[in-house]
Structure 1
Amino acid sequence: MNHDHHIVVLGAGYTGLFSAIRLAHRTRRTDVKITLVNPSSRFVERLRMHQIAAGQELAEHQIPDLLADTGVTFVQGTATAIAPEARQITIDGADVLSYDTLVYALGSSTETGTVPGADTHAFTLNTPEIAGRFAARLREVAASGGTVTVCGGGLTGIEAAAEITESHPGLNVTLISRDEPGAMMGSKARTYLHGALHRLGITLTTGSRVTKVLPDAVELADGRIVRSDVCLWTTGVKVPPLAAAAGIATDDRGLILVDPTLRSVSHPEIHAIGDAAAVRMAWGQIHGTCQSGLPTAQYTADTIARLVRGRTVKPFRFGYFHQPVSLGRRDAVIQFTKADETPRRMCLTGRSAVAYKEMVSGSPLTTYRFSKHMNVTTIISKGGRATRRPAA
């Protein structure tokens, strides 16, 4: 074992925080030192950001409190550069932090730079502060019975549109999507989803992409103009350029290219997790969700604990299990899936789905608390037979 081995975890989102806590437990009888770096001391529950946007008051969780009794050192600051050859990280352009092993967990955010006006005339769910400003603007628009547009018909857009409409029933809410919302679901779940959106009074505008966001409207590629007193942008993903700028091998989107053990193919001392990593299974590439991110964090914490003890590791295996979608506070739909995320026949709707979704949304914090004292698993499916062979 390497004595005084320093592990630095960059990013304290769902995956970074979990990996740090689990690492502390798995290496508690070693000389390993763990440091967690994050720009904010607040832990952001990304699964609940649409609730903040709708104006709901949620509990705040501080990262130092969640790390209590783990021995992990928390550094509040932004990583501005990585020098992989020297194994050093520059924090806030000044302080230098050295590492033996780096866990790269800088997550993604919504991309607003590809459509004109999205960066200046639309809000995102990237931070609680931005979501809070949207909520304040929403209250102003609701007072006059105005119109809200939610751009992006993925699960985030669906949840946001439903939450906004339920919280502000006097608003006119339009969900704009190039494809049919819920297209990835089975027919039963998709029908229920569309029925719920209809019951809420949400207008669906599909079949055309957004080409411009204006101060009071959204312009579509087919020439349609949709009135918009306030716009929420939920489509498009970007990752920080830090890894690519450091010369770490990345794909064309900036995700770190990893081997089957989630280690950088160019710098094996760097482990990438969550939506910072280009992780491939035999059935395809994993996309960034909490469902896939937490298992990568669990696996990486266990892998590093084995490596510092000189032990061998097995390749990462993962399969999707479900697509949970809240439809306000009183309704939801859960589509169960195969490992490659194609839909199974089974789904949950209504009250049982609400309870299921709330359990899913609250599970990370519960996992963190228990992981200080025991090895809690977040891997529901390893993908079965399909992941027993390596990815192409």
Structure 2
Amino acid sequence: MRIVVAGAGYAGTLAANRLAKKLPEAEVVVVNPRADFVERVRLHQHVAGTAKVATPLVEMLRDGVEARLAAVEKIGDGGVALDSGEFVDFDHLVLAVGSTVSPLPGTIPVGTWEGAEYARAALAQLPPGATVTVIGTGATGIETAAEIADGRPDLGLRLVGNRLAAGFSDGARRRVRAGLERLKVSVIEDTVTQVLRDQGEEGADRLRLRSAGPGGDVRSDLTLWGVLGGVPDLAGRSGLEVDERGRAVVDEHLRSVSDPRIFVVGDCAAVPGSRAACQTAGPQGAHAADTLVRMVKGRGLKPYSMGYFGTGLTLGRRDGVIQLSRRDDTARRQYLAGRPAVVVKEGATSGAKYGSRTATIAWLRGPK
């Protein structure tokens, strides 16, 4: 029996290792476009040069798991076509290709490995006094702006987006803003509609904002895109049923409603009540693997259930905010801040990588 895992992020790597552990008789093949496991939730640290975020897949995957360096172009009937020209048959497929970004022209996306690499190089070339603008006031944008400000206090930092830390309670949002102010990050709650390159001024961008907030044009020497986009169109292009966001529609066991041989996990899965996060990816990867083991061994299946405990943000290396939540992911009034929040966030981030490598993970059950 051959099981193909498309994607080696948190969900895909954990699923592959768990399957290899629990079904040693199966051939597990991981298909990924790069030879490294990338800790996506640390990419802001890679941009700022404060952490190593890429680990060779050979160090992450269990012995016996085959890794193929390629991207899946299309899912066919019982196989996947790769951009290398190969067609790999499968008995079961775990689709874990993650999400994509759709940056405005003229910006550098920090939510991908390639973009983060480019942003890191561009940041290193900026002279003191230059201005960096980060677009996106969610977790990716906030952490990127704060990490750069913490490491390069000689630069001017600006954060632009619709609403700062929108999913946080009022108190937690005020604490995030205070942390950014301490780092001298200017926050503009507005919408960027265009990024223009000024004529005759090499390296200077002019951002045009919709005037819902301060409005007008602002200048920037480096503009980074910190907004997560949609998902790859692989599922829809392959004929699987998808939702309005292009995520594959799944049943209560995380199987595609179009083909029960295909499990879909992580950002590209349309799981009710879920959001893009490593907190989501790990449990889904584990549940898909466990369900497939049950199918192979003829056991009864259990529906997927997962509950959230909160959302964490680091504000540089010495500050952070953890918004505590109910299991349905709605924010509570309570939150952690300061160094305790940094410790919790670091533990969760390191734990996500550990879980993917060891296939060991525990999670909360979902709300009743």
Instruction: State TM-score, norm by structure 1.
Output: 0.88
Cα 1:133–1:182, aligned 2, differ >3 Å: closer, same or farther?
A: same
Q: Secondary structure at the match of 2:298?
A: coil
Tell me the residue number matched to 2:183: 200
Q: Secondary structure at the match of 1:130?
A: helix
Q: Secondary structure at the match of 1:24?
A: helix
Match of 1:299 among 281, 287, 291: 287
Deviation at 1:368, TM superposition (A): 3.5
Q: Secondary structure at the match of 1:174?
A: strand
Deviation at 1:270, TM superposition (A): 0.6
Tell me the residue number matched to 1:383: 366
Find the aligned partners of 1:167 and 1:330 in 2 and give their Cα distance.
11
Find the aligned partners of 1:194 and 1:42 in 2 and give their Cα distance.
35
Q: Secondary structure at the match of 2:125?
A: helix
Deviation at 1:210, TM superposition (A): 1.1
Structure 2 residue 124 is matched with structure 1 residue 139: yes
Match of 1:108 among 99, 107, 127: 99
Q: Secondary structure at the match of 2:333?
A: strand
Cα deviation, 1:27-86, whole Å, max 9, x if unaligned, reads 12xx321111001111101011001111335164100121142x2111111111211x3x
Match of 1:44 among 29, 38, 51: 38
Tell me the residue number matched to 1:115: none
Find the aligned partners of 1:105 and 1:369 in 2 and give their Cα distance.
16
Find the aligned partners of 1:230 and 1:325 in 2 and give their Cα distance.
23
Cα deviation, 1:205-236, whole Å, max 9, x if unaligned, reads 11x31110122121111151111111111124
Tell me the residue number matched to 2:65: 72
Structure 2 residue 299 is matched with structure 1 residue 317: no
Unaligned 5+ runs, structure 1: 113-117, 386-392
Find the aligned partners of 1:79 and 1:370 in 2 and give their Cα distance.
25
Task: Map 1:35-184 to 2 at 5 A.
Answer: 35-58=29-52, 60-69=54-63, 71-83=64-76, 85=77, 87-112=78-103, 118-119=104-105, 121-141=106-126, 143-179=127-163, 181-184=164-167
Task: Map 1:243-282 to 2 at 5 A.
Answer: 243-280=235-272
Amino acid at match of 1:273: V
Deviates more, 1:215-224 or 1:260-269: 215-224
Tell me the residue number matched to 1:34: 28
Are the equivalent residues in 2 in contact too, given 1:123–1:134 (CA < 8 A)? yes
The alignment yields a C-alpha RMSD, in angstroms, of 1.4
Tell me the residue number matched to 1:365: 353
Find the aligned partners of 1:59 and 1:319 in 2 and give their Cα distance.
27
Find the aligned partners of 2:185 and 2:11 in 1 and give their Cα distance.
33
Deviation at 1:96, TM superposition (A): 0.9
Tell me the residue number matched to 1:15: 11
Match of 1:211 among 181, 193, 197: 193
Are the equivalent residues in 2 in contact too, given 1:317–1:382 (CA < 8 A)? yes
After TM superposition, the runs of 4+ consecutive aligned structure 1 residues lying more than 2 A away are: 126-130, 368-371
Find the aligned partners of 2:149 and 2:87 in 1 and give their Cα distance.
47
Using the aligned pairs only, state the percent identity: 38
Find the aligned partners of 2:111 and 2:286 in 1 and give their Cα distance.
24
Deviation at 1:185, TM superposition (A): 1.3
Cα 1:339–1:68, aligned 2, differ >3 Å: closer, same or farther?
A: closer
Match of 2:329 among 333, 341, 349: 341
Q: Secondary structure at the match of 1:214?
A: strand
State how many pairs are aligned.
358
Find the aligned partners of 1:276 and 1:287 in 2 and give their Cα distance.
10
Cα 1:59–1:296, aligned 2, differ >3 Å: closer, same or farther?
A: closer
Tell me the residue number matched to 1:232: 224
